Amino acid sequence: MDGVEIREICLSLRWERESLSQFLSAHGLRLEPDVECAFGLYQEDTLSGCGCACGPLLKCFAIDAPLQGQNGLGLLLSSLTQDRFQKGYFNLFVYTRPHNAAMFSRCGYTVVGQTDCVVLLESDRNGLDSYLAGIPRPVKRLDCIGAAVMNCNPFTLGHQYLIQQASSRCDLLYIFVVEEDRSFFPFLDRLSLVQEGVRHLPNVLVCPGGQYMISSQTFPAYFLKDTECASDLQSELDITIFGERIAPALDIQVRFAGQEPLDSVTRQYNKTMTHLLQRYGISFVEFPRIMSGGEPISASRVRKLLGEHGCVTPELSSLVPTCTRDYLLRRFGSTR
């Protein structure tokens, strides 16, 4: 690519960030606010292509037509990969439209899952298989294996109740704790609380969700049309990956969730599970939420009380198991 220079775009400089935003806009795309780094293809100081990253996620790719097919994407991926490796991210992910998947595949990326509207690829060709290989398996075949995916931000009596009910309906229950560290409480703390809170249930295995339980917080929307709903596309892709790849590998036959009377996004996600999981022969069971003081017990309610009082109140203590209460007391203290 004669006459083309690749260099990092300094996002801290307003004019460079605005130039990147305008370039993406000209390609019908949006610059997402969480972008941490960006690289550009320049022809005589004119931006002609770009690619960005946030954590292990690569996104916001756009290349002018004359440079398409001339390894512009490969140059951008190479620079972004080097930057991400230096930051400690060794398996990188790309969401894109299905018609773009072949371009990323030619650059070494492997499809994780695909729907009619979006595809997820990763740089490690064995990434998902390696993740699944690390999940414990039963030593003998069981009649019923179930699963639930939870954020547990933090772990509440509602989560504990759901797990107890689900574990009573199957021989083995996998609990996948969402691993992305974009929650109020760190992932390792959330994972530890769930493990401690279900220790009395011998048929429950608590596992990290890895990079393959997709969160609406990290699903990119920069390439979506105004008429498309990001959370709907995210949930369809997430459930597709679970149904096509994760459930068969672990012999999961049923997925559990709590009913969602408050959050519309989660409620729609449950509806999507209802009709999508049956395609893969997986049953879906929703449990009613348990109540306290006339309201559903929820992690958001716990966080709201913490925000209002800055400490553990008697009301808050009534919403969480002992392990979570003790953890919160260590972090925030209690009312005098």
Cα separation values, 129 from 68, 119, 148, Å: 32, 18, 20
Distance CA 54, CA 37 (A): 7
* Burial environment of residue 80 by CB neighbours within 10 A (0 to 12, 13 to 18, 19 or more): buried
* For range 98-119, the mean pLDDT: 94
Lowest model confidence (mean pLDDT) among 64-73, 233-242, 304-313: 64-73
pLDDT reported for residue 48: 93
> Which pLDDT band, with edges at 50, 70 and 90, does 334 fall under?
confident
Distance CA 67, CA 78 (A): 16
> Which pLDDT band, with edges at 50, 70 and 90, does 218 fall under?
low
Sequence letter at residue 19: S
- pLDDT at position 45 over 90: no
pLDDT reported for residue 266: 82
pLDDT reported for residue 209: 92
Q: CB of 176 within 8 A of CB of 208? A: yes
Whether the ω angle into residue 154 lies within 30 degrees of 0, i.e. cis, is yes
Q: How many CB atoms lie within 10 A of CB 245?
A: 17
Write down the mean pLDDT value for the chain: 91
- pLDDT at position 216 over 70: no
> Which pLDDT band, with edges at 50, 70 and 90, does 336 fall under?
low
Cα separation values, 310 from 187, 189, 313, 316, 329, Å: 21, 19, 9, 11, 11
Percent of the chain with pLDDT over 70: 96
Total residues belonging to the chain: 336
